[in-house]
Each structure stands twice: as C-alpha cells, then as structure tokens.
Amino acid sequence: MVRSGAEDVDGYLAEVPEDRRDALSRLRRLCRAELEGFDEVMAYGMPAYERAGVAEIAFASQKQYISFYLMRSDVREAFEERLSGQDMGKGCLRFRKLGSIDFDLVRDLLKATAASPGEIC
C-alpha cells in the first residue's frame, strides 16, 4: 500500500497488512502521545500530524518497508549522529524489517518536533 483512500487513520490501519498493523498502531500511539496540539489527519494517503495546518510528521506502510516521514530539517540535523546508521532518504526514515523499528529514536524525534515549530523541508 503506497497511497490509501481511507478517510481516517482508523480506516487506514484496518487496510494495512495484518503483520504490520501492530507496528503502525504503535507509531500512531507515539505520535498521539508526543505531538500534543497537533491534528491527526490523512494527507497524501497516509496518517499525518499537522501543526497550524502544516504536516510535520507522517508514516506509511510501503510495499517493502514502513516509512516514517520527518519533514523538519532542523530536527533531522539535530539528530544527524543518531540517524547516520539508519536507512534514511531526504525526509523519510525506512524500516525494512518490523523488528528494526527504533521506537526510542522515533519518540525522541517526535519530542524534538513537538518542542517548537520549525521550517518544513
């Protein structure tokens, strides 16, 4: 699934492959816990978290991995050392194995994102 037609995140999670649902649900719980004041929306066919109408975080079940989108370049730069060993695109952290999701790193990225607004890449 690259782009979902689900209207909300509950619908999205119902569509994803069952073996990925727990990991994606855990990402959602982390986002909801750490991104206080953000709105949970569906954007570009995936769950996204917006502040003042601007998406700063998103995640998705892709064909060969789970992606975590960190759209804040300042947060990526602040975590450059911890992200250096990860499979990372410009703004996408890719987890190719369910067991490889570093939920502690994700939590720290979410906390840094929530701490203050910043520029979106």
Condensed to tens digits (0 to 9), the pLDDT of residues 11-56 reads: 999 999 999 999 999 999 999 999 999 999 999 999 999 999 999 9
Q: What are residue 102's phi and psi, to 5 degrees? A: -90, 85
Q: Is the pTM of this model over 0.85?
A: yes
State what percent of residues in the chain have pLDDT above 70.
Answer: 98
Rounded Cα distance between 3 and 44, Å, is 7
Q: By the 8 A CB rule, do 69 and 58 touch?
A: yes
Q: By the 8 A CB rule, do 66 and 100 touch?
A: no
Rounded Cα distance between 111 and 105, Å, is 10
Q: What are residue 3's phi and psi, to 5 degrees? A: -135, 120
Mean pLDDT calculated for residue range 90-98: 91
